[in-house]
Structure 1
Amino acid sequence: MELKRILLVEDSPQDVELTLAALAENHLANEVIVVRDGEEALDYLYRRGIFKLRLEGNPVVVLLDLKLPKVDGLEVLTQLKSDATLKKIPIVMLTSSREEKDLLKSYDLGVNAYVVKPVNFAEFVNVIKEVGLFWAVVNQPPPGSMPPVSNVQQLRA
């Protein structure tokens, strides 16, 4: 099984550490790119700024916090879902917001899933494990979400 790249957009250092630990503990990604605000997320996905030389291919999923500095999660979501090239990337809103307006707005803008971060450590780890299992292992990603490898090579592997 080929492990995939996940983009984590999170400004809380504690939540970044918990998420990375949960993904690593469950061996759910071979690479997790962490960016701290919406502007960095867009730079990564559009391969600009410090990310202009990054490897080709998009992440298999974007774990996106709602409340972010510079460009918030809803703005990032809006931009990605209105871009013909990037709109197929699954976006999971991973947030502490339980507000119905945030939930509705996220789905109106095309989010693929909305997950409220539990406060309890064990529950948080379990939620990340479940999210990671589904999006990085079970779900079939859209074309272009992995580094280019020919189908022939994949079939022979």
Structure 2
Amino acid sequence: MDFESKTNAPTATDNIEFAQPTTTRKPLELLRDTEALLRRPTVATLSSILPPKLSNRFQATSSLADDSFKELAEIDLDSISDFELRFVRICVGFSFVGFGALMILMLLLYLNTLRPKLSTVEQIRQYWYQYVWFVSLGVTGMFMLGREAMRPMPRRQK
């Protein structure tokens, strides 16, 4: 018995051609336009119910955001080299390590001041989830710093 269909007639779904975008927009332009489409109606709605002084500041902040995003959209991402991003990646790595360490210290301070009756084992049992998150942030930052340390430096032209 042959269960396969013998007809190979083209169906309507085989001949669909999807429209191709006429122009490709840069990601920062998409970010600017999307943010503006969300922000402007929100500002218009909220400024009508806010006190006048706060409403004026809110609208001024919105126009400042317009200017900032306009400048941001003019940046050509293809012109930024890998070496120029090195400092930013190092700063982000240090931020992860620092934030993880700071949050572990805050957790220990919280446990020692507000939960002094709990033993160390009970503290770890109750707050292990936070410990894991904060240690993971620090380890992630260390991995980022290690990766940057192992990247080859660009050679200088003589």
TM range (shorter): under 0.3
Q: Which has the higher helix share?
A: 2
Task: Please report the TM-score for the alignment, with normalisation by the length of structure 2.
Answer: 0.20
**Structure ID, larger Rg:** 2
Task: Please report the TM-score for the alignment, with normalisation by the length of structure 1.
Answer: 0.20
Structure with the greater relative contact order (CA < 8 A, sep ≥ 6): 1 or 2?
1
